[in-house]
Structure 1
């Protein structure tokens, strides 16, 4: 039986969603973040040396990294669904978004989260103004402009069809869901980004997405 090693409020939620879209039976092994550090528990290192999620185990294989997991699941269980045919321009675009999600979209979002935590972290009173200034400068001079650049680009790309590859839903939409949900939660999505807002509404309405939420449990990133 395929097992998803599922960490609460994490990228593994989109793996559950893809499995629901595929209709593949699976089990969930649950892990909870440390309430103070928000880090994954050390028990995950028994599954994969980095101790991070998502990780799946299937037929003797242990597979980490969201993009690699999604490619594996679609190749093994998709039966031609949720990915364009190899060798086509659409397949190249599909592969691009699978890599863009973590390689380009997520870094500024993670930096924004780090800056916000620095500004809010407990520290001696004399150090707090300095830390807040550094965090504010990082956000205003680099992070927020990068987010604006990437979100504007994504919104324009989605504007053509509403999906990341052609006119149909693919696993690239699953992969891109997490950075866009994170952006909505951490930085908001302004009214100038209607294609992104519409995309999130569409994916959240999908029955498979709703089933994944029921299986996975509370997903706080949706509400910030």
Structure 2
């Protein structure tokens, strides 16, 4: 049985959303962060040596990392859903946004959160990269409803976390980004997203 181990307020909400979009059977287990340091509890960290969220188990398989998990679930249970075929005209866009989300955009957001009021030079560099990311998103979402065309793909499931939950901890001004704001509204209006958030982050679901 596929089990999604969800750590509260973490990237693992992506996997809950993925499973809801695909309409697959899965078991859901939610873990509360520690009250003393807001880190994952010991039983969550014990699931895999990486000790990070998300993590799934599926029979003898224990797998961390958002991208690896999404690839695993879409390949094994997705029946072709949410992943364009290599012959699709939007395949290259899909690959770019799918990988850019965590490899580049999430990385600079996390770095910015961690340095806080640290080095001005490093802060300026990160601000520039974040701004370029938002500019690319705004441009792309002016061309299509979702990142790889007018249908939701796994690239949107990867990126959605940065534009929704991350903003609770790192607010950013989207007043000049109407395409991104409309995109967030489209994501949050999806029934599968609403079901996922009701399970994963009920305090934020409303």
3-state SS of 2:75 partner: helix
Q: Please tell me whether the aligned partners of residues 41 and 51 of structure 1 are also in contact (alpha carbons under 8 angstroms).
A: no
Structure with greater Cα Rg: 1
The match for 2:32 is: 32
Deviation for aligned residue 1:146: 2.1
**C-alpha RMSD of the superposition:** 2.1
The match for 2:188 is: 204
TM-score, normalised by the number of residues in structure 2: 0.90
Q: Please tell me whether the aligned partners of residues 45 and 51 of structure 2 are also in contact (alpha carbons under 8 angstroms).
A: yes
Deviation for aligned residue 1:83: 1.3
The match for 2:41 is: 41
TM-score, normalised by the number of residues in structure 1: 0.83
3-state SS of 2:141 partner: helix
Following the alignment from structure 1 to structure 2, what is the Cα–Cα distance between the partners of residues 157 and 49? 37
Structure (1/2) with the larger helix percentage: 1
Q: Which of 126, 131, 142 in structure 2 is aligned with 1:159?
A: 142
Structure 1 residue ranges (4+ consecutive) displaced by more than 3 angstroms after TM superposition = 182-185, 217-220
Which sits farther off after the overlay, 203-212 or 173-182? 173-182
Relative distance call for 1:60 and 1:54 in structure 2 (3 A) is same
Equivalent residues, number:
205
5+ unaligned residues in a row in structure 2: which ranges? none
3-state SS of 2:53 partner: coil
Deviation for aligned residue 1:201: 0.6
The match for 1:195 is: 179
Relative distance call for 1:87 and 1:63 in structure 2 (3 A) is farther
Deviations 1:76-124 (A, max 9, x none): 22222211113444223212222111111012211221133xxxxxxxx
Relative distance call for 1:46 and 1:150 in structure 2 (3 A) is same
